[in-house]
Amino acid sequence: MMQKEAYLQESTRRWKDSIAHYLNFDIWKYERTLKKLNREGLFLFAFFLVLALFPSLFAPYSPTERFISYESPSIAHLLGTNDIGNDILSELVYGTRISMMVGFASACISTLIGLMIGLCSGYFRGTLDELLMGFTDVVLTIPKIPLIIILGAFLHPSIWTLILVLGLLSWESIARVVRSKTLQIREAGYVKSARCMGFSSFHIMRSEIFPNLTHVLLPKFMLATASAMISEASLSFLGLGDISMKSWGIMLSFAFSRGGFIRDMGWWYIPPGVCITLCVMSIALIGFGFEERDKERGNRGVDAE
């Protein structure tokens, strides 16, 4: 019994460790870690995060306030105004929150689904694995964006359906990675010992395997966010976004379809595009950084000789 208690304590400690390690609060301590995580990416990301959290601090006007339309940049309107007279800079700042929310929310959904499918598939193996991975493969071959286009056309999406659709359709690569990692971990000594002690499968998956998956999940989550943001921007461009929530993609789409491009109003269509690129890049860079660090950890294990 005592053994079991000690074991339980140990496992919670490991949990906390891994969380503290990965959602690192003392990240600034480690100069080297920071370098690995791509300093540029982190700073850019922090910048966009602040924009998204406190848009009112940065935007000069409310995004719905109307001025004279099609104005060129001036001191009053740094990026001019659009077709209905909204201040473009304000729109841009407020759009950050929406674009990032779509990205993160749908990445959360897809990571969750991918995690469950991958974990079950890798842990239980056998027929379930075969079925789940078969399903994953099948979903993988269906082209996402055309399907989302057709769904979008039928559903006239609000931002929530968009998030849901994007999340539901992009979990396959996560599921695969999680599965292969789970297959590895389930053979490790501590998992075997936990099984011998008679813990339930759910408990083992939650407190033994999951903490060890965080470092493959995190980069995948970041990359999923990045690609969801691009998909959102693309769909919005086709007019399938939620017009009531003006994201960067919708701004671009309006600039293209409502005369910004023809009138050569570079200050209208370039900033949202650049923002999308930079924001996606910052997230992707952080993801790559995590991946690289993970690889190095992996190497260290076999470096023995």
Partner 1 sequence: MRYEAGATFEGNTLKTVSGTMREVVRKTLRYATSFLLIISLNFALPRLMPGDPVKNLIGEDVYVSEAVMEELRIEMGLNRPLYEQFTAYIGDLLRFNLGYSYHLHSPVAEVLRERIGWTLLFVGVSIFLGAALGTLLGAYAGWKPETKANRLICYGFIALSCTPPYFLALICLDIFAFELGLFPFKGFYDVPTPGSVMYHMFLPVTVMALFSASRNFLIMRGSVIQEKGQLYALYARAKGLYDISILFRHVIKNASLPIITLLALDFGFLFSGALFTEIVFSLNGMGTLIYDAIIGKDYPVLQGSFLVIALAVLLANMLADLLYAIADPRVRRPT
Partner 2 sequence: MNTLLEVKDLNVSFQGNENETVNAVSGLSFFIREKEILALVGETGCGKSAVAHAVVRLLPSESRVMGTIKFGGKNLLELSEKEMSGLRGKEISIIFQNPSLALNPVYSIEHQLAEPLRIHGQKMKKKVKKTEGKKENNALSKVVKALESMGFSNPHECMRYYPSWCSGGMNQRFLIAASNMLDPVLLIADEPSKGLDRSRVAELENELKGLKERSGTSMLLISHDLSFVRRLADRIAVMYAGEIVELAEPKQFFEKPFHPYALGLLKSLPENGFIPIPGSSPSLSSLPEGCRFHPRCSFKEKRCMQEHPELKESKGRAVRCFLWA
**Which residues are at the interface with partner 1 (CB under 8 A)?**
134, 137-138, 140-147, 149-155, 226, 230, 233-234, 237-240, 249, 252, 256, 261, 264, 266, 269-270, 273, 276-277, 280-281, 284-285, 288, 299, 302-303, 305
How near is the Cβ of 255 to partner 1 at its closest, in Å? 9
Residues lying near partner 2 in the complex (CB under 8 A) are found at 300, 303-305
Comparing CB distances to partner 2, the nearer of 75 and 304 is 304
67 interacts with, out of partner 1, partner 2, none, CB within 5 to 8 A per kind: none
103 interacts with, out of partner 2, partner 1, none, CB within 5 to 8 A per kind: none
How near is the Cβ of 238 to partner 1 at its closest, in Å? 6
How near is the Cβ of 138 to partner 1 at its closest, in Å? 5
Nearest to 121 by CA among 113, 129, 112: 129
134 interacts with, out of partner 2, partner 1, none, CB within 5 to 8 A per kind: partner 1
Comparing CB distances to partner 2, the nearer of 5 and 305 is 305
How near is the Cβ of 145 to partner 1 at its closest, in Å? 4
CA dist., res. 198 & res. 201, Å (int): 9
230 interacts with, out of partner 1, partner 2, none, CB within 5 to 8 A per kind: partner 1
288 interacts with, out of partner 1, partner 2, none, CB within 5 to 8 A per kind: partner 1
Residue 87 phi, psi dihedral angles, 5° rounding: -75, 125
73 interacts with, out of partner 1, partner 2, none, CB within 5 to 8 A per kind: none
Comparing CB distances to partner 2, the nearer of 29 and 300 is 300
CA dist., res. 246 & res. 268, Å (int): 14
How near is the Cβ of 300 to partner 2 at its closest, in Å? 6
How near is the Cβ of 296 to partner 2 at its closest, in Å? 9
300 interacts with, out of partner 2, partner 1, none, CB within 5 to 8 A per kind: partner 2
183 interacts with, out of partner 1, partner 2, none, CB within 5 to 8 A per kind: none
Comparing CB distances to partner 1, the nearer of 144 and 195 is 144
Comparing CB distances to partner 2, the nearer of 1 and 304 is 304
3-state secondary structure the chain: CHHHHHHHHHHHHHHHHHHHHHCCCCHHHCHHHHHHCCHHHHHHHHHHHHHHHCHHHHCCCCCCCECCCCCCCCCCCCCCECCCCEEHHHHHHHHHHHHHHHHHHHHHHHHHHHHHHHHHHHHHCHHHHHHHHHHHHHHHHCCHHHHHHHHHHHHCCCHHHHHHHHHHCCCHHHHHHHHHHHHHHCCCHHHHHHHHCCCCHHHHHHHHHHHHHHHHHHHHHHHHHHHHHHHHHHHHHCCCCCCCCCCHHHHHHHHHHCCCCCCCCHHHHHHHHHHHHHHHHHHHHHHHHHHHHHHHHHHHHHCCC
How near is the Cβ of 303 to partner 2 at its closest, in Å? 7
The tokens for 303 are 């470096």
Contacts for 176 with CB less than 8 Å, ≥ 6 apart: 118, 133, 136
How near is the Cβ of 37 to partner 2 at its closest, in Å? 19
